[in-house]
Amino acid sequence: MVTKPIATITRTKEIMERHGLGFKKSLGQNFLIDPNVLKKIVAKAGVDENTIALEIGPGIGALTEHLAFEAKHVYAFEIDQRLIDVLKDTLAPYEHVTVYHQDILEADIKSFLQDKVNADEQVRVVANLPYYITTPILMKLLRDELPIHSMTVMMQKEVADRMAAGPNTKEYGSLSIAVQYYTESNVVMTVPKTCFIPQPNVDSAILQLVKREKPLVGIADEALFFELVQASFGQRRKTIKNNLQREFKDRLSKDQFIELFEESGIEPSRRGESLSIEEFAILSNVCHKIISQ
């Protein structure tokens, strides 16, 4: 008898009932019930026999199963203790899948990958991320300087749009800049809410982030760059001058603020959403020079 894919409504309900489980809202658990969507995600992620797939939040194993069809090995991190036994059951046929009961935000992924991955293998993150913690997970993976080729992740459509947004759009903000500083980002497909159980309130999207060999712009002080970007979007209706004066008033004098905008060649009456990442880099590097004098 051919077993139905995990990602079907009948099999998902049967697995949950067999293990006496309900869906845990606090962990953002919405399970995919459309195998075709999962096939597309794995294909768009470029997973093949040389791929080490890293999955976050495998749930009951729907995406994990499809990754296992293509990848050399799948390492999955699941925070919910209740699902560990479920995954042992649903993923039993796949010897090249390893599940860890661990919070990805607390895991030392750099050391983990050094131990598990060979030079000829490519690491690709593929995940259906819990909505409530999407951004912290992605920022950890980006900032930890990991040997990851790409991340193909499902998230709330609104968040994906913000991460891929360009200047002069309402979606563009500090999150767009943080993500695009490290990666080339692109929304590759949308997934309607009807593809999940329980059904979320909003549609989802698949965002693909391909790691840049080096950050998009050269920065003298990365922490200052991100602080300046964050401050520039503090109150979106205000000018960058007003926003930055509020944040940096203890570090820059009135004359230094004039110097900052004159030397960077950026009009202080502009709003944060009008500045490109390259312009934020210029502003940040001039600011670093003035503060260091």
Cα–Cα dist 182/185, whole Å: 9
The architecture in CATH of the region 222-292 reads Orthogonal Bundle (1.10)
Cα–Cα dist 128/237, whole Å: 34
| Binding positions for S-adenosyl-L-methionine | 30, 32, 57, 78, 103, 128
Cα–Cα dist 116/211, whole Å: 20
pLDDT of res. 51: 97
Instruction: pLDDT tens for the chain, 293 residues: list them.
Output: 347 899 999 999 999 899 998 766 665 568 899 999 999 999 999 999 999 999 999 999 999 999 999 999 999 999 989 899 999 999 999 999 999 999 999 999 999 999 999 989 999 999 998 888 899 999 999 999 899 999 999 999 999 999 999 999 999 999 999 999 999 999 999 999 999 988 888 999 999 999 999 999 999 999 999 999 999 999 989 999 999 999 999 999 999 999 999 999 999 999 999 999 999 999 999 999 999 98
pLDDT of res. 27: 58
As beta bridge partners, residue 74 has: 53, 97
Tokens of 204: 């989802």
CB neighbours of residue 292 within 10 Å? 9
* Cis peptide leading into residue 5 (ω within 30°): no
pLDDT of res. 28: 58
**CATH class of the region 9-211:** alpha beta
Residue 252: half-sphere exposure toward Cβ, Cα within 13 Å: 23
| Binding positions | 30, 32, 57, 78, 103, 128
Q: Which ranges in the chain are annotated with CATH 3.40.50.150?
A: 9-211
pLDDT of res. 25: 60
Residue 271 is classified by DSSP as: B
Report the b/e string of 250-283 with b at 16+ CB within 10 A: eebeeeebebbbeebebebeebbbebebebbbbb
pTM of the model: 0.90
Q: Judge whether 120 and 49 are in contact, CB under 8 Å.
A: no
Q: Which ranges in the chain are annotated with CATH 1.10.8.100?
A: 222-292
Tokens 């059904």 sit on residue: 199
Give the total residue count for the chain: 293
CB neighbours of residue 210 within 10 Å? 16
**CA-to-CA separations, 76 to 59, 62, 91, 131, 132, in angstroms, rounded:** 10, 12, 11, 18, 19
144 phi, psi to nearest 5 deg: -80, 5
pLDDT of res. 280: 98
pLDDT of res. 2: 46
Cα–Cα dist 236/232, whole Å: 8
